[in-house]
Amino acid sequence: MIPFALFYTEQDAKRNANFIKALLEAGKRVQLDGTLITDEQKLHPYDYVFNRTRNHHESLKTLDATFFNPLRVNALANDKEKTIQFAQMLGIPTIPTTRFTQPLPPFPVVLKTRDGHGGKEVYLCRDERDVALITERHNPHTLLVQPYVESDATDVRIWMIGKRILGAVKRQGNEGFKSNYTLGGTVTTFNLPSILVEHATRIQRALRSDYIGIDFLIGRNGQFYLNEIEDPVGARSLYETTEIDVAACIMQHIAKCIHH
């Protein structure tokens, strides 16, 4: 049995207890002996770390360990500006994105923090008064601006384990303009068109990621726009809509990487 650390924040560990149990049990079936770690200082003895936090700071880089995902993937996925720039470099369509310190496009606009996740800290602003309310809550230097693209609160979430597309769902918001399942949206299975398969594959190959989620907005014109890359990514809506054992697939991938 090869030891590995399953690294969560204490708060997220409580919220994801069932998934953590599934991961540890699946690990044992592929000869991986996992231990839940919520204190960064206790990672030092481990050669392998499955990082389920959004931490990618310098102290983790000093550890002599292999991370799943690599820390550079975590750093890019948790910076929306870097994610957009990365997608543009790959030739994948995105919504034009600027920093708040630059002139605003015509209203309505969307303001979002660079490091927000799960649909939080994303705001639709219809006029200057809306903008003023957001800048009272957030440092303007942390905000990004996008023109509002009408999508009927609909997007596509794709899960990838290594080079494999594990599954995809279409997410539909119940109210407002956000589609996130954790915010009350609904999900249905989604058969990916070839263009999204191509986009997702290109992203994974460039990142060399282990387990990520990739979100695309669907414009009313049928155009897909990369919205964000999620690391760590949850799997609740995939469990809701398929029979896929996500935990088992993840641990099989990690075991294959370690043994080879």
DSSP string, 62-104: TS--EEES-HHHHHHHT-HHHHHHHHHHTT--B---EETTSPP
Q: What is the mean pLDDT of residues 142-149?
A: 96
pLDDT at 230: 97
Span 166-205, pLDDT tens digits: 999 999 977 665 555 555 678 999 999 999 999 999 999 9
pTM: 0.94
Q: What is the mean pLDDT of residues 206-233?
A: 95
Span 76-107, pLDDT tens digits: 999 999 999 999 999 999 999 999 988 899 99
pLDDT at 221: 85
pLDDT at 178: 55
Coil/strand/helix, residue 167:
strand
Coil/strand/helix, residue 135:
helix
Residue 145 has a CB neighbour count (10 Å cut-off) of: 20
Span 32-83, pLDDT tens digits: 999 999 999 999 999 999 999 999 888 999 999 999 999 999 999 999 999 9
